[in-house]
């Protein structure tokens, strides 16, 4: 039986749907499919019904395998019990590449663009740091139009964005016919502090005891003093461009947007 996890309501432009406020992140390095599959099965058994994956994580296949096994063994009755988020990696953030990428992830519920400011010419990054000549700005309007088309066809339940700067998000909202249902960002914070203002979150832990502890944050509250202390802690965003790109003017332009 699933744990009594609170839900928030999101909209896909035509209808609303409940999103469990806590999910399980599946990004890990190195990615070991059997380990990931086992952890997801543990999470389903513990009570998780919300999972976050992405092409770049390499966890879509083990997630699908875990779901199939969970149904077969009776942990869940059907796929409809789960809320799954996958993402369009920036290597495929070009209008002609969006459709093939979505087709590989049709088992997912929400599909997001993943860090969609710049993309790679090649679908495979062969070395780090990423050389400047393989990177160029994407046509976000064209990419979003394809994602909207696939939602209208019913192939995804909702679309959103991941790690998008506020400036890029404003740009997207200026032309989107279907606004993003969610905007996902990466932060390292107290789970309860994130939950209290009504935010959904996907901590990553493959330790079953930690999974259980993360589901035990809903029957207590932080004090005002604790909230103030946490809010004053320095925040660190996701992967800085300087970690994956050669130093150049393009990198400095990306950093300026963050």
Beta strands in 98-174 (DSSP E): 110-114, 118-120, 135-137, 158-162
C-alpha dist (Å) from residue 11 to 20, 158, 178, 179, 239: 14, 8, 10, 9, 29
Beta strands in the chain (DSSP E): 7-11, 16-20, 24-25, 50-52, 83-88, 110-114, 118-120, 135-137, 158-162, 183-184
Give the count of beta carbons closer than 10 Å to the beta carbon of residue 19: 20
Give the count of beta carbons closer than 10 Å to the beta carbon of residue 21: 20
- Beta-strand relationship, 135-137 and 7-11: unpaired
- 250: enclosing H helix or E strand: helix 249-257
Residue showing tokens 């994407």: 138
Could you list the active site residues?
57
* Rounded CA separation 61/104 (Å): 10
* Rounded CA separation 120/115 (Å): 12
* Rounded CA separation 139/223 (Å): 45
Q: 129 is written with which tokens?
A: 């740091």
């Amino acid at each position: 039986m699933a744990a009594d996890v609170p839900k928030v309501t999101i909209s896909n432009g035509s209808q609303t749907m409940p999103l469990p406020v806590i999910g399980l992140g599946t990004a890990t390095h190195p990615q070991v499919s059997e380990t990931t599959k086992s952890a997801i099965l543990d999470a389903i058994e513990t009570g998780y019904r919300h999972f976050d994956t992405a092409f770049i994580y390499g966890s879509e296949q083990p997630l699908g395998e875990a779901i199939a096994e969970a149904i077969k063994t009776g942990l869940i009755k059907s796929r409809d019990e789960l809320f799954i988020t996958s993402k369009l990696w920036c290597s495929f953030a070009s209008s002609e590449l969006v459709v093939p990428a979505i087709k590989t992830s049709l088992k997912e519920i929400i599909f997001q663009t993943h860090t969609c400011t710049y993309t790679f010419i090649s679908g495979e990054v062969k070395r780090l740091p990423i050389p400047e000549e393989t990177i160029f700005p994407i046509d976000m309007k064209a990419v979003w139009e394809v994602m909207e088309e696939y939602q209208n066809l019913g192939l995804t339940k909702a679309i959103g964005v991941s790690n998008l700067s506020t400036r890029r998000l404003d740009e997207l909202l200026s032309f989107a016919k279907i606004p993003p249902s969610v905007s996902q960002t990466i932060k390292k914070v107290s789970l309860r502090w994130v939950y209290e203002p009504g935010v959904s979150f996907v901590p990553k832990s493959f330790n079953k005891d930690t999974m259980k502890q993360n589901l035990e944050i809903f029957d207590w509250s932080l004090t005002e003093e604790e909230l103030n202390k946490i809010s004053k802690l320095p925040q660190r965003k996701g992967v800085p461009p300087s970690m994956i790109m050669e130093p150049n003017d393009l990198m400095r332009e990306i950093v300026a947007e963050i």
